[in-house]
């Protein structure tokens, strides 16, 4: 076995991993000013070694031994309360033969170098207390420390707070959950190597570090076990089986180390002396001297260096892809914030550009020419067309104009139209009154259609906000206000036009319309319908004389004669028949007093008082009942049956004519007065209301958070560009390096399949 020097654990270790580990360190330096990049660049995690272990497991001693310096806070309670990202970078001496030239530099103090490591410890304590106070709380905000020394190998580690079980002193009650969540956020990443530190003087099978590592790395392919305090195990026991991976197998194996005791620290025993003691311990121990490749801080440093080197090589292609993807996304976000506006001319040009884009986007949405057209649902002008055809037109077509008119309603209308006289024919008034009422029903759905289209235009206007508008809240608010007011004003003439259309239809009932059914056809249809009714009912329920009389009167109303008499003059017999029909409905007032037949004549003109004087004894006074407040006709149920059918036919025929007109003209009115008017005049309204020099500054004043986001995004974009350029510079180097130069003990494809550190020794 090659003899190692007691002076420096890494003197005889060849300089390996010098190609890509510094690359990761440089990337970390690039991103360190940005804070926690994990929250800002989701999914981006640089390769690193996460050091975990329970309190007093020896984590700090291991890290100090790797550095060769005392620089970490010490104590009996929790000392590491914030993640410490430790970059070890091997560097040459100072050029004058001083091999001990080494220094530390913190990420939050980039221009200050610490040459005294006691000062490094004090700065770690001060920065920790600055974030979490003097109590024993923890924070996930990192402290970044780079140590350059000729006595270290290139390694990047993250020292995490020690796992604790029970709060002690003024520790928070949820300290265990906080620390576990923090540790999990680091070790669950596939790019992290887990350095699980466990003390040998405790039951290794119950090691907290190994248990947490197993949760995220159940196969043990990225976990290295470190067993500390081998020199204080119970006499007669050793950790051979653990180091050989026979108890808890790990693909990357185990390394055993000997720490400085608290007594050594109190006696100011140097790390150099402690390393010499460790070397002597393993050389003299009858069990561990046969496991020299698995024992000692130098072996741990070499192994970490090799594994991290190979690990970085494996993740470099994916890392570059991720960085490039994030760069594209961040550049796009940065473009959304735009450039900061300085001069008045720049503000005016920006405002005009925003107003123009907004108006063009509005027209494109209405016309179906938007570049952001969706394939999941109807949008823009297609929704307006759907409102016209599938909602407005279809709803009107489904309406029966007589669905709210019963036969009794029509019969009462006919009675009311006759006034104090009996109806000799069906008057025009009931038809016109009833059809006007049905036409008036078209107003509400027409106005609803207008309201629906207005709502759609409001939605379209909100979807037309350009990316630049996000920067200017005042402009967006004013633009929305002007658009809404413009559309509301455009609704008014459209509403007046729709009301006028309905009023025009109601004001003149054009019974000469060529599509109107007409009187003759209506009577023929009524006769056919009535005949069907008579055949289906008992004869005594519908008297034939009533139906003939009704048909005659309807025919007189429609055509002036019965269908059989159309085109010829009436004869005397016809006139007599007509008179006979008429007298049958004439109220005979004298019949109330018992005078009939020939008494009708001059006697009918006598006053009632004269008649009463002729009677010797006056009959009892006839007392009439007071008419009820609501009167309904008292005729037989079959009265005006043909007239009712004819009236319904006429109403339906004329309503259909009006409905077709409204279905055609209302959408035209809405398109003309509202939709197309908005497309033509929206930009002009914007320029009139908003494009004023005295409004430029107010409208284009950015929110504070937008200014902040632009600055942060600019910094992130700059860092990502630097990172991508740095990777590009290393691509040629990495591709030409032979893995055999520094990876003889590791597989050439991936350390994940290696068993070099878990194969038991003979």
pLDDT (tens digit, 9 = 90+) per residue, 507-535?
888 877 887 776 566 656 765 766 676 66
C-alpha to C-alpha distances, 371 to 368, 381, 412, 466, nearest whole angstrom: 9, 14, 61, 13
Query: Are residues 713 and 333 in contact, defined by beta-carbon separation less than 8 angstroms?
Result: yes
d(CA 63, CA 86): 9
Bridge partners of 226?
Answer: 197, 255
Among 757, 731, 753, 743, CA closest to 17: 743
Q: Please report the pLDDT score of residue 518 as a whole number.
A: 62
Residue 587 has pLDDT above 60, yes or no: no
CATH topology for 348-524+638-700 is: 1.20.120
Q: Please report the pLDDT score of residue 594 as a whole number.
A: 34
Backbone angles phi, psi at 757, to 5 degrees: -110, 5
Mean pLDDT of 34-62: 76
Length of the chain: 762
Q: Give the pairing of strands 254-256 and 223-228.
A: parallel
Residue 9 has pLDDT above 60, yes or no: no
Among 445, 493, 455, 471, CA closest to 658: 445
Q: Which two tokens stand for residue 677?
A: 């008017």
Residue 233 has pLDDT above 50, yes or no: yes
* Residue 195 DSSP label: E
Query: Are residues 553 and 522 in contact, defined by beta-carbon separation less than 8 angstroms?
Result: no
Q: What is the DSSP string of 398-467?
A: T--TTTT--HHHHHHHHHHHHTTS--SS--HHHHHHHHHHHHHTTHHHHHHHHHHHHHHHHHHHHHT--G
pLDDT band at 759; cut points 50, 70, 90 = very low
Residue 487 has pLDDT above 90, yes or no: yes
Among 246, 248, 249, 275, CA closest to 260: 275
Query: Are residues 500 and 376 in contact, defined by beta-carbon separation less than 8 angstroms?
Result: no
Query: Are residues 756 and 315 in contact, defined by beta-carbon separation less than 8 angstroms?
Result: no
How would you label 498-519 residue by residue, b for 16+ Cβ within 10 Å and e otherwise? beebbeebbeebebeeeebbbb
Residue 550 has pLDDT above 80, yes or no: no
> Interhelix angle for 59-67 vs 297-337, to 10°?
90
Query: Are residues 429 and 644 in contact, defined by beta-carbon separation less than 8 angstroms?
Result: no
Cα of first residue to Cα of last residue in the chain, in angstroms, is 16
pLDDT band at 443; cut points 50, 70, 90 = very high
Q: Which of 12-16, 166-170, 736-740 has the lowest mean pLDDT?
A: 12-16
Q: Please report the pLDDT score of residue 559 as a whole number.
A: 39
Residue 547 has pLDDT above 50, yes or no: no
Residue 108 has pLDDT above 60, yes or no: yes
pLDDT band at 504; cut points 50, 70, 90 = very high
d(CA 237, CA 240): 9
Query: Are residues 414 and 627 in contact, defined by beta-carbon separation less than 8 angstroms?
Result: no
pLDDT band at 272; cut points 50, 70, 90 = confident
Mean pLDDT of 560-571: 39
Query: Are residues 462 and 365 in contact, defined by beta-carbon separation less than 8 angstroms?
Result: no
Q: Which two tokens stand for residue 152?
A: 């270290």
- DSSP-derived 3-state class of residue 199: strand
* Pairwise pLDDT comparison (735 vs 302), residue with the higher score: 302
Residue 617 has pLDDT above 70, yes or no: no
pLDDT band at 602; cut points 50, 70, 90 = very low
pLDDT band at 747; cut points 50, 70, 90 = very low
* Pairwise pLDDT comparison (727 vs 497), residue with the higher score: 497
Mean pLDDT of 553-564: 39
* Residue 691 DSSP label: -
Residue 383 has pLDDT above 60, yes or no: yes
**Token match 């440093």: residue?**
301
How would you label 371-398 residue by residue, b for 16+ Cβ within 10 Å and e otherwise? eeeeeeeebbbebbeebbeeebbeebee
pLDDT band at 13; cut points 50, 70, 90 = very low
pLDDT band at 102; cut points 50, 70, 90 = confident
Tell me the pLDDT of the chain averaged across its residues. Answer: 74
Helices (H) and strands (E) in the chain, counts: 26, 9
Q: Which two tokens stand for residue 54?
A: 């329970």
Task: Count the Cβ atoms, other than its own, within 10 Å of residue 74.
Answer: 12
- DSSP-derived 3-state class of residue 312: helix
- Helix ranges restricted to H, 285-342: 297-337
pLDDT band at 165; cut points 50, 70, 90 = confident
Model pTM score: 0.54
**Token match 């509301």: residue?**
488
Mean pLDDT of 254-267: 83
d(CA 195, CA 185): 15
Mean pLDDT of 368-374: 73
Q: Please report the pLDDT score of residue 735 as a whole number.
A: 52
- Candidate ranges 89-103, 200-214, 418-432, 658-672; pick with highest mean pLDDT: 658-672
Residue 346 has pLDDT above 60, yes or no: yes
Bridge partners of 147?
Answer: 88, 104
pLDDT band at 46; cut points 50, 70, 90 = confident
- How would you list the strands of the sheet with 109-114, edge to edge? 109-114, 103-106, 143-149, 84-90, 155-159, 48-53, 192-199, 223-228, 254-256
Query: Are residues 84 and 142 in contact, defined by beta-carbon separation less than 8 angstroms?
Result: yes
Can you say how many angstroms the Cα of residue 260 is from the centroid of all Cα atoms in its chain?
A: 57
In the chain, what's the furthest Cα-to-Cα distance? 165
* Residue 474 DSSP label: H
- DSSP-derived 3-state class of residue 636: coil
d(CA 142, CA 80): 11
Which positions ≥6 away from 141 have C-beta within 8 Å? 35, 36, 82, 83, 131
Q: Please report the pLDDT score of residue 499 as a whole number.
A: 94
> Interhelix angle for 443-463 vs 641-670, to 10°?
20
pLDDT band at 36; cut points 50, 70, 90 = low
Task: Count the Cβ atoms, other than its own, within 10 Å of residue 694.
Answer: 6
Query: Are residues 183 and 190 in contact, defined by beta-carbon separation less than 8 angstroms?
Result: no
Mean pLDDT of 737-751: 39
Q: Give the pairing of strands 48-53 and 155-159.
A: parallel
Mean pLDDT of 65-85: 79
Q: Cα-atom radius of gyration of the chain, to the nearest Å?
A: 50
d(CA 748, CA 153): 21
Q: Please report the pLDDT score of residue 4 as a whole number.
A: 41
Residue 436 has pLDDT above 60, yes or no: yes
Among 282, 301, 187, 297, CA closest to 231: 282
Bridge partners of 224?
Answer: 195
């Amino acid at each position: 076995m090659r003899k190692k020097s007691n002076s420096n654990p890494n003197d005889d270790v060849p300089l390996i991993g010098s190609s890509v580990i510094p690359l990761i360190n440089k990337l970390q330096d690039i991103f360190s000013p940005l804070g926690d990049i994990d929250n800002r660049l989701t999914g981006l995690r640089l390769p690193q070694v996460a050091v975990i272990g329970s309190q007093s497991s020896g984590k700090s001693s291991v890290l100090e031994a790797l550095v060769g310096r005392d620089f970490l806070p010490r104590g009996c309670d929790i000392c590491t309360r914030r993640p410490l990202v430790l970059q070890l970078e091997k560097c040459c001496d100072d050029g004058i033969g001083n091999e001990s030239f080494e220094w530390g530099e913190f990420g939050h103090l980039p221009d200050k170098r610490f040459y005294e490591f006691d000062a490094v410890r004090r700065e770690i304590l001060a920065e920790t207390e600055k974030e979490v106070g003097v109590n024993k709380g923890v924070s996930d905000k990192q402290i970044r420390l780079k140590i350059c020394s000729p006595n270290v190998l290139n390694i990047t580690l993250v020292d995490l707070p020690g796992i604790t079980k029970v709060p002690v002193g003024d520790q928070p009650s949820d300290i265990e959950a906080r620390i576990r969540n923090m540790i999990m956020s680091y070790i669950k990443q596939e790019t992290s190597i887990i350095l699980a530190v466990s003390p040998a003087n405790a039951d290794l099978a119950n090691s907290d570090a190994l248990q947490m590592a197993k949760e995220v790395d159940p196969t043990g392919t990225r976990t290295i076990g470190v067993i500390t305090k081998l020199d204080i195990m119970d006499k007669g026991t050793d950790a051979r089986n653990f180091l050989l991976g026979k108890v808890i197998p790990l693909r990357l194996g185990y390394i055993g180390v000997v720490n400085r005791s608290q007594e050594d620290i109190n006696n100011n025993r140097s790390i150099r002396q402690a390393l010499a003691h460790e070397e002597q311990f393993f050389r003299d121990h009858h069990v561990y001297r046969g496991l020299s490749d698995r024992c000692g801080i130098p072996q741990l440093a070499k192994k970490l260096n090799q594994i991290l080197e190979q690990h970085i090589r494996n993740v470099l292609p994916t890392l570059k892809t991720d960085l490039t993807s994030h760069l594209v996304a961040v550049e796009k976000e940065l473009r959304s914030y735009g450039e900061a506006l300085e001069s008045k001319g720049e503000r005016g040009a920006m405002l005009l550009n925003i107003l123009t884009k907004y108006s063009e986007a509005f027209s494109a949405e209405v016309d179906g020419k938007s570049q952001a057209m969706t394939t999941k649902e109807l949008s823009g002008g297609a929704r307006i067309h759907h409102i016209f055809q599938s909602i407005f037109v279809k709803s009107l077509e489904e309406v029966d104009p007589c669905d709210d008119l019963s036969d009794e309603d029509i019969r009462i209308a006919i009675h009311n139209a006759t006034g104090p006289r009996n109806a000799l024919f069906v008057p025009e008034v009931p038809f016109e009154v009833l059809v006007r009422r049905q036409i008036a029903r078209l107003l509400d759905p027409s106005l609803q259609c207008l309201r629906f289209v207005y709502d759609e235009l409001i939605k379209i206007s909100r979807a037309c906000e350009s990316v630049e508008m996000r920067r200017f809240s005042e402009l967006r608010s004013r633009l929305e206000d002007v658009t809404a007011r413009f559309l509301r004003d455009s609704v008014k003439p459209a509403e007046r036009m729709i009301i006028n259309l309905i009023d025009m239809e109601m004001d003149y009932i054009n019974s000469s319309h060529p599509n109107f059914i007409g009187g003759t056809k209506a009577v023929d249809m009524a006769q056919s319908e009535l005949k069907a009714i008579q055949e289906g009912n008992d004869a005594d329920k519908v008297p034939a004389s009533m139906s003939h009389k009704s048909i005659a009167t309807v025919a007189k109303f429609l055509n002036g004669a019965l269908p059989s008499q159309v085109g010829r003059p009436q004869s005397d017999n016809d006139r007599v028949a007509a008179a006979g029909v008429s007298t049958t409905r004439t109220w005979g007032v004298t019949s109330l007093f018992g005078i009939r037949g020939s008494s009708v004549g001059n006697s009918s003109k006598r006053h009632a008082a004269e008649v009463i004087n002729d009677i010797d004894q006056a009959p009892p006074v006839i007392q009439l009942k007071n008419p009820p407040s609501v009167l309904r006709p008292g005729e037989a149920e079959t009265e005006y049956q043909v007239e009712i059918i004819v009236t319904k036919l006429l109403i339906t025929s004329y309503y259909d004519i009006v409905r077709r007109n409204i279905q055609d003209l209302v959408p035209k009115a809405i398109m003309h007065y509202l939709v197309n008017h908005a497309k033509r005049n929206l930009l002009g309204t914007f320029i009139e209301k908003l494009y004023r020099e005295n409004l430029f500054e107010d409208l284009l004043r950015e929110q504070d958070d937008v200014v902040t986001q632009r600055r942060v995004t600019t910094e992130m974009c700059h860092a990502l560009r630097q990172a991508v350029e740095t990777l590009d510079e290393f691509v040629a180097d990495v591709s030409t390096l032979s893995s055999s130069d520094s990876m003889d003990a590791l597989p050439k494809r991936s350390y994940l399949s290696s068993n070099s550190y878990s194969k038991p020794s003979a």
